[in-house]
């Protein structure tokens, strides 16, 4: 197997692109794809302040590394979620990367700042851990970016993540979620920061190899709460398809964005307002994050802060 560019020994074969690359040309291919995604989708400009959501896993660390390498002003945000040893290890790897690059790292510890981590939050509210965790992450990413004056939030979602999410949304025809599934979510309100996914065309295998070649030490274990998650099943199914149909994941996501998503514009018209408690955007009086944490901190019941009435626990944000 020879490199497409220089004919040296290749370190990876990319069947979806009918190409193989040596170390040097794989790294430039990877970086160029990220740069093209940023430019083509107008994700951000050189003068933007970018906040990268960094879990300590391969995708977010690879993304942060590429952005720093391209000269962007990119700081990291790490949430310590309070999921046992997994969270401690994730923080350690993230800190190690940040200090090795001399990059700014902002840390938020759920237990210290809000009273409990995801495991306790889940048991106090009766919500499955990923639901409580996802809700808290979405909220805090937006809040920290706004409070600290960042113009854009970047996450490490890769092609496998996007294809698995798309498959899940299609299987249950979640039209509102499909309308929002995009590599760029613009700032539609002053309280909602722009969100981008610069790795959305690169696979997990590619981000893992990028980290390996750049000697980036990342958390290899999955979060213990991911065991049995439907997204992992969808990834397995898509990988089996990809083995027989190289490029299918890429075309699945690409053609969805090109042909189907423009038809779903009307699904994006939801009535958004500011949360009565925290002022962050929500589709109801009190945002899902405030409801969730009120419930956790008051022994299982959420109350309206202004009227004192008990409120329904629904997930919409
Ligand atoms: S797997 Fe679930 S609990 Fe673990 S980090 Fe992801 S969303 Fe949170
Ligand atoms: Zn080469
Ligand atoms: Zn709120």
Q: Could you say which ligand is closest to the alpha carbon of residue 79?
A: 1
Read off φ and ψ for residue 127, nearest 5 degrees: -90, 145
Q: Could you say which ligand is closest to the alpha carbon of residue 55?
A: 1
Q: Give, as one character, the DSSP assignment of residue 259.
A: I
Strand partners, 80: 109
CA distance 147 to 51: 12
* Residue 118 CB–ligand 1 contact under 6 Å: yes
Q: Is the pLDDT of residue 299 over 80?
A: no
Structural contact between residues 57 and 90, judged by C-beta atoms closer than 8 angstroms: yes
pLDDT value for 300: 55
How far CA 216 is from CA of 59, 62, 268, in Å, comes to 11, 8, 38
CA torsion sign for 80, 83, 87, 88 is positive
pLDDT value for 78: 98
Ligand 1 pocket test, pick from 55, 78, 94, 118 with the greatest ligand atom count within 8 Å of Cβ, gives 118
**55 CA closest ligand 1 atom index:** 5
CA of 255 to the centre of ligand 3 (A): 36
Containing 61, the helix (H) or strand (E) segment is helix 58-69
Q: Is the pLDDT of residue 98 over 90?
A: yes
What is the CB neighbour count within 10 angstroms for residue 45? Answer: 11
Q: Is the pLDDT of residue 141 over 60?
A: yes
Q: Is the pLDDT of residue 317 over 70?
A: no
Q: Which of 151, 210, 204, 295 is nearest to 25 (CA)?
A: 210
User: Which residue has the least CA distance to atom 5 on ligand 1?
Assistant: 223
Q: Which of 134, 170, 177, 132 is nearest to 155 (CA)?
A: 134
What is the mean pLDDT of the segment spanning 273-291?
Answer: 93
Q: Give, as one character, the DSSP assignment of residue 9.
A: B
User: Which residue has the least CA distance to atom 3 on ligand 1?
Assistant: 130
Q: Which of 139, 138, 162, 142 is nearest to 152 (CA)?
A: 142
CA distance 250 to 274: 37
Ligand 1 pocket test, pick from 82, 110, 225, 292 with the greatest ligand atom count within 8 Å of Cβ, gives 225
CA of 155 to the centre of ligand 3 (A): 22
CA of 39 to the centre of ligand 2 (A): 25
**223 CA closest ligand 1 atom index:** 4
Ligand 1 pocket test, pick from 91, 223, 224, 227 with the greatest ligand atom count within 8 Å of Cβ, gives 223
* Residue 223 CB–ligand 1 contact under 6 Å: yes
CA distance 177 to 261: 11
Q: Residue 33 has which token pair?
A: 């794809």
What is the mean pLDDT of the segment spanning 245-253?
Answer: 98
Global confidence as pTM: 0.93
The full set of domain ranges for the chain reads: 33-269, 271-317
What is the mean pLDDT of the segment spanning 22-47?
Answer: 98
Report the SS3 class of residue 51. Answer: strand
Strand partners, 49: 73
Q: Could you say which ligand is closest to the alpha carbon of residue 25?
A: 2
Given the candidates 3.30.70.1090, 3.40.50.620, 1.10.260.40, 1.10.3720.10, the CATH classification of the domain at 33-269 is: 3.40.50.620
Mean pLDDT for the chain overall: 93
Q: Residue 13 has which token pair?
A: 């074969």
* Residue 82 CB–ligand 1 contact under 6 Å: no
Q: Is the pLDDT of residue 307 over 60?
A: no
Containing 293, the helix (H) or strand (E) segment is helix 288-297
CA of 226 to the centre of ligand 2 (A): 37
CA distance 143 to 279: 10
CA of 128 to the centre of ligand 1 (A): 10
pLDDT in tens, 197-244: 999 999 999 999 999 999 999 999 999 999 889 999 999 999 999 999
**129 CA closest ligand 1 atom index:** 3
Q: Could you say which ligand is closest to the alpha carbon of residue 283?
A: 3
- Full DSSP string of 202-257: S-HHHHHHHHHHTT-----SPPGGGTT-HHHHHHHHHHHHHHHSTTHHHHHHHHII
Per-residue confidence at 304, pLDDT binned at 50, 70, 90? very low
């Amino acid at each position: 197997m020879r490199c497409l560019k220089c004919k040296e020994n290749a370190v990876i074969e990319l069947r979806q692109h009918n190409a193989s690359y040596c170390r040097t040309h794989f790294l430039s291919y990877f970086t160029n794809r990220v740069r093209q995604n940023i430019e083509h989708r107008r994700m951000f400009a050189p003068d933007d302040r970018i906040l990268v959501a960094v879990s300590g896993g391969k995708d977010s660390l690879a993304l942060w590394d590429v952005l720093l390498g391209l000269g962007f002003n990119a700081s990291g945000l790490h949430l310590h979620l309070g999921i046992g040893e997994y969270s401690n290890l994730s923080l350690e790897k993230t800190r190690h990367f940040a200090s090795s690059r001399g990059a700014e790292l902002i840390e938020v510890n759920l237990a210290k700042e809000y009273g409990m981590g995801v495991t306790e939050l889940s048991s106090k509210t009766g919500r499955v851990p990923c639901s409580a965790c996802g809700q808290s992450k979405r909220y805090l990413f937006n809040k920290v970016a706004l409070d600290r004056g960042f113009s854009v939030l970047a996450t490490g979602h890769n092609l496998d993540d996007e294809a698995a999410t798309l498959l899940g949304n299609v299987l249950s025809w979640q039209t509102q979620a499909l309308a929002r599934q995009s590599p760029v979510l613009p700032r539609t309100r002053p309280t909602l920061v722009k969100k981008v996914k610069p790795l959305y065309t690169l696979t997990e295998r590619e981000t893992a190899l990028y980290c390996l070649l750049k000697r980036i030490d990342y958390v290899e274990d999955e979060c213990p709460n991911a065991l049995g998650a439907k997204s992992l099943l969808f990834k397995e199914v898509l990988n089996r398809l990809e083995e027989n149909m190289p490029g299918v994941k890429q075309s699945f996501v690409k053609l969805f964005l090109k042909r189907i998503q423009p038809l779903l514009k009307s699904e994006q018209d939801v009535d958004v307002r500011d949360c009565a408690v925290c002022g962050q955007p929500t589709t109801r009086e009190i945002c899902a994050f405030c409801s969730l944490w009120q419930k956790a901190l008051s022994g299982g019941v959420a109350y309206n802060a202004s009227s004192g009435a008990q409120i329904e626990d629904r997930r919409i944000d």
